[in-house]
Structure 1
Amino acid sequence: MNKPPAANEPGWDTGTHEAFYRYYEAQSAGEESLQRFEAIYATLARMLGQRGPLDVADIGCGAGTQGRLWAARGHRVRGADINEALVGLGRKRAREDGLDIRFDVASATALPWPDASIDVCIAPELLEHVEDWKGCIAEFARILRPGGALYLSTSNRLCPKQQEFTLPLYSWYPAPLKRHCVRLARSTHPHIAGYATYPAVNWFTFYQLRKHLAGYGMRSFDRFDMVDLAAQGALGRAAIGAVRALPPLRWCAHVLTPYLSLLAVRQE
C-alpha cells in the first residue's frame, strides 16, 4: 500500500526560495528544456515501441514540462513534486494548453497512486535530491505495471563535471566534504546549490543503480544502449559499437558524461 502524500507528512518543506522559483519558471519554459524532454520522449518511444495511450507518471515534475509533452500526444499523465509553487505553475500551464493532467504535491517516497497503475515512470534529476533514494525506487517499482518502464536521469559520481553545485570537481569530493557542502547550502551559502530547498545529496554510478534495480526484476539500459544507431554516421556507429562491446571502454565513456541516464524495464 502507498503511504500518505508528502504534503500531509510532517518534516517535509513544500515551499521554495523565490530565486529558485524564478530561475526554474524561466528555465522550464526555455528551448533547451523543451529539446531535452523531446529527446527523452523520442528515446522512450523508440526503445519501448509506439504504444498508447499509456499511463505516465512524471515524478519530480516541477512545472510539468515533460508531462505536458506526453499529454499532448494523447497519454494519460500524472505529475508529482514536493515543491508546491512549481506544482501550481504546472497546473496553470496545463490549463492554458487545454491538457488534463493530475498534479499532486507529494514526495517520491510516498506517491499517492495505486499499485501497478503506471506504464511509464519518468524521474528526471530527482534521485540525487532525495536522501532516501532507495525508498523512491521502491515506490517507482510499486506503481509500475509488469512490462512497465522507468526512466531516470541523475548525478554521475564517475564524472567530475556536474551542475548541482557551483564547485569544481564536486562529484569527486569525498563523502564527508560533500556533507559539509550540503550543510552550507542549506544554511549560510544557498547559492552554491542554486538555492534549491533540497540540494543534491546522492551521487550514483550506472552500475550501482543497475544492481539495485535488478532486485525489483528490472533490466537496465544505460545511455549508450539507448543511442539510436540509425541516426549516427559510420564513425558514430563504430564508436558506440565499441563502447557496447568493451566493458572497460564503457566505464571510461561514463567518466566523460556529466550526468547519468538509465532505462529500466520491469519483467512481465
Structure 2
Amino acid sequence: MLTSPHKYNEKNKMSASSANLAQRGYQYGFSENGNAMYDLTGRQRKAHTMIAVLQDYFGGNLNSRSILNLGGSTGIIDSVLAQHVQTVTSVDIDEKAIAYAQQHFSTPNLQFALGDAMNLAQANNTFDIVICSQVYEHVPDSAQMMQEIHRVLKPGGVCYFAASNRLMWNEPHYNLPLLSVMPRSIAHSYLRLAHKGDYYYEKHLSYWGLKKLVSHFKCHDYTTRMLASPLQFGIEYMVNPDHFKGKLAKFLAKYCFWSLPGYIWILEK
C-alpha cells in the first residue's frame, strides 16, 4: 500500500488491460476501494486495541513513546494513537487518503506524509513503535518492508504486527470464499467472474510464511491472550467468548494455531 513520496505515473497502475497484469507493483488508491478506510467506529476500535496491547506489553502508559504507522490511510487510527503517545508519524502512498487525514486531523504531535514502506525516509533507530496492521499483503515486497521496519526501530523497540493468514475461509477485501488460497491466475478470473475486480493484488502468507517473514525479530504472540481476554483488549465485538465463534477461535488457538484467520504479534528488535 506504500511507495515513494514522489508522484507516480498512471502507467504504473494495475488494470485488466495492463501489459504488466501478472506483475505486482504498488497498490495505489486503496482508500477508494469501498468505505472501510472511512469507517470511523471500526478504525477507532482497531486503534484502541493497538493501545491496549501496547500498554500491556510496556506495562503502563505510552506517553513517552514515538510511533510510525505504516499504511495510516485516512488518519482515523492515527488520531486515536496521538492521544496516548508523544508523537505519531503516519505514511501511505494513497494521496487522497493523506489529503483527507491532513484536512480532518490536526494536532501538534501528529504528522502525515506520503511514503514508501519499502524505502522509508526516516533515519535508523528513530521510533519506539512501528504499527504494521494488515499491510504486509499490500506491498510488492513484504520482506523488504520488514527490513525497513527493523532499521527504523530503536534497539528494544517493537512492531505491532497484525496479519491475516492465507489459509482463511473468506478473503475480507473482496468477501469471497477461498480466494486467498487459490493460484493467482485462477484468483484473477474468480474476481472477474464475481464482478469484484480485475486483478487479485493482495498476497497473503500462511502461518509458516508469516513466521519466516518476521524471523529476524523476537516474536511475542498476543493472539491467544486476546482471545482469552477479549474485553481487556477491546475485541469483544469480534470475538464473544460466550458465542460459538468465540469458543471456536479459542479451540483453534489451542489445538490448531496455524489455522487461525489472523494474528497479533509484538515484534521486538
TM-score, length-normalised on structure 2? 0.74
Q: Equivalent of 1:113, from 122, 125, 149?
A: 122
Q: Following TM superposition, by how much is the alpha carbon of 1:242 offset from its aligned partner in structure 2, in angstroms?
A: 7.0
Question: Partners of 1:56 and 1:199 in 2: how far apart?
Answer: 31
Match of 1:140 in 2: 149
Q: Following TM superposition, by how much is the alpha carbon of 1:251 offset from its aligned partner in structure 2, in angstroms?
A: 2.8
Match of 1:192 in 2: 196
Quick check: 1:68–1:99 contact (8 Å CA) kept in 2?
no
Question: Partners of 2:28 and 2:213 in 1: how far apart?
Answer: 31
Question: Partners of 1:59 and 1:217 in 2: how far apart?
Answer: 18
Q: Equivalent of 1:52, from 49, 59, 63?
A: 63
Q: Secondary structure at the match of 2:154?
A: strand
Question: Partners of 2:65 and 2:138 in 1: how far apart?
Answer: 27
Question: Partners of 1:191 and 1:91 in 2: how far apart?
Answer: 33
Match of 2:139 in 1: 130
Opposite residue 207 of structure 1, the aligned amino acid is: W
The percentage of counterpart residues that share the same residue type is 17
Match of 1:155 in 2: 164
Q: Following TM superposition, by how much is the alpha carbon of 1:48 offset from its aligned partner in structure 2, in angstroms?
A: 2.6
Match of 1:264 in 2: 267
Q: Following TM superposition, by how much is the alpha carbon of 1:235 offset from its aligned partner in structure 2, in angstroms?
A: 8.4
Match of 1:40 in 2: 50
Match of 1:92 in 2: 103
Q: Following TM superposition, by how much is the alpha carbon of 1:117 offset from its aligned partner in structure 2, in angstroms?
A: 0.3
Match of 1:8 in 2: 6
User: Any stretches of 5+ residues in structure 2 without a counterpart?
Assistant: 14-26, 233-239
Quick check: 1:81–1:87 contact (8 Å CA) kept in 2?
yes
TM-score, length-normalised on structure 1? 0.75
Match of 1:65 in 2: 76
Opposite residue 256 of structure 2, the aligned amino acid is: L
Q: Following TM superposition, by how much is the alpha carbon of 1:134 offset from its aligned partner in structure 2, in angstroms?
A: 1.0
Question: Partners of 1:123 and 1:249 in 2: how far apart?
Answer: 25
Which structure shows the higher helix fraction? 1
Deviations 1:96-140 (A, max 9, x none): xx3431211012111111111011110112111112111111111
Aligned residues: 242
Alignment RMSD: 3.6
Deviations 1:41-88 (A, max 9, x none): 212211232243211011000011221111112421100001011011
Deviations 1:190-247 (A, max 9, x none): 9625x9xx96431112332223322x24324251144464958998999988766x5x
Question: Partners of 1:153 and 1:199 in 2: how far apart?
Answer: 21
Question: Partners of 1:179 and 1:152 in 2: how far apart?
Answer: 27
Question: Partners of 1:190 and 1:122 in 2: how far apart?
Answer: 33
Question: Partners of 2:4 and 2:88 in 1: how far apart?
Answer: 19
Q: Secondary structure at the match of 2:167?
A: coil
Deviations 1:137-168 (A, max 9, x none): 11111111111111222331111112122432
Question: Partners of 2:43 and 2:8 in 1: how far apart?
Answer: 32
Larger deviation, residues 203-212 vs 57-66:
203-212
Question: Partners of 1:34 and 1:117 in 2: how far apart?
Answer: 26
Quick check: 2:228–2:250 contact (8 Å CA) kept in 1?
no
102 and 154 in structure 1: CA distance in 2 versus 1, 3 angstrom threshold: same
Opposite residue 4 of structure 2, the aligned amino acid is: A
Quick check: 2:70–2:132 contact (8 Å CA) kept in 1?
yes
Opposite residue 46 of structure 2, the aligned amino acid is: R
